[in-house]
Amino acid sequence: MRDFNLKSYAGLANEALEQYIPSAKDHPGIIHEAMRYSVFAGGKRLRPTLGFITHEMFGGSVRNFQPAAAALECLHTYSLIHDDLPAMDDDEFRRGKPTCHRMYGEAVAILAGDALLTLAFELMTLRLRETFTATQVLQATAELAVACGTYGLIGGQTVDILAEGQEVPNPELTVEYIHTHKTGALITASLRTGAMLAGATRDELAALSRFGHYLGLCFQIRDDILDHTGDQAKVGKTLGKDKKSGKLTYVSVYGLEKAEEQLRKCHVACESALKPLRETDSLLAVAALAVERDS
């Protein structure tokens, strides 16, 4: 039942992405084709799902949130495309398929990432006005801009890239910074925008921020563990790469056993964070999935 619900959210996200990303028939076709290739290469639609869940939790209707859900996935996919570039992580596979730059070349991949980032803000500012007030839309759009900026996603990405293969003075703090920023910031913003557009209070948003912080850590620590112990066919990307390239991960910093312990602790913290809120079953289900997933 839980699983069915989560899948239906992913379906709503896909429907919106299908509608809002221009067709490869629209000039210039190659850029739209590259955007669609990466967006529809698979993916769990985690961020849209989190937004749909909190939007419903606070009384909103999922249909109204669809443009924002598409924007969240565009932001996530942009970050993956740029992250995979030769100058960054130099990844060949993503979601089980060749990465964007391997399919379309580096120039188009850079532009496709830029285009998805830009499209996210177009969707937020143009496609939500039928059902939300300008003030609400502006607040939600600002939330995403801050989450994706240098104190959020890009900050995490920068430290991640620079720490690679380096001796870092405080690896525990650094890996936590990377994970909470690179992954946690947009996860938290997804939870908050959904809730915000449904009129959640400041205290409710604060509880979601705490949950998002630990949920982001759960996802990323599980990712680090899967890079060590996962099944490449299931995970859909090259495994063992973190170790080879000297990435800072929970496994490289703490060892496998302690990383698993940290994962359990973060899971407990996720559950505690939700205590002040009601109707949290779906969010608890996502946290459980984050911890247990093998792909």
CA triple 100-67-56, angle to 5 deg: 120
Q: Nearest distance from residue 156's CB to its own copies, in Å?
A: 9
The nearer residue to its own copies, 35 or 239, going by C-beta atoms, is 35
Pairwise CA distance, residues 35 & 81, whole Å:
9
Q: Is 25 in the site for its own copies (CB under 8 A)?
A: no
Q: Is 88 in the site for its own copies (CB under 8 A)?
A: yes
3-state SS record for 46-109:
HHHHHHHHHHHHCCCCHHHHHHHHHHHHHHHHHHHHHHHCCCCCCCCEECCEECHHHHHCHHHH
The 99-138 contact track toward its own copies, x by CB under 8 A, reads ------xxxx-xx-xxx-xxx-xx--xx--x---xxx-xx
Pairwise CA distance, residues 234 & 271, whole Å:
27
In the region spanning residues 148 to 177, those forming contacts with its own copies, defined by CB under 8 A, are 148-151, 154-155, 157-159, 161-162
CA triple 276-65-25, angle to 5 deg: 150
Q: Nearest distance from residue 291's CB to its own copies, in Å?
A: 29
In the DSSP assignment, the letter for residue 182 is I
Binding segment (CB under 8 A) for its own copies, from list 4-12, 144-152, 212-220, 225-233:
144-152
Q: Nearest distance from residue 267's CB to its own copies, in Å?
A: 28
In the region spanning residues 27 to 66, those forming contacts with its own copies, defined by CB under 8 A, are 27-28, 30-32, 35
Phi, psi of 188 (to 5 degrees): -60, -45
Q: Is 141 in the site for its own copies (CB under 8 A)?
A: yes
Q: Nearest distance from residue 123's CB to its own copies, in Å?
A: 8
Measuring CA to CA, which residue among 54, 73, 94, 61 is closest to residue 13? Answer: 73
Q: Is 199 in the site for its own copies (CB under 8 A)?
A: no
Phi, psi of 94 (to 5 degrees): -150, 130
Binding site for its own copies (CB under 8 A): 22, 26-28, 30-32, 35, 78, 82, 85, 87-88, 105-108, 110-111, 113-115, 117-119, 121-122, 125-126, 129, 133-135, 137-138, 141-142, 144-146, 148-151, 154-155, 157-159, 161-162
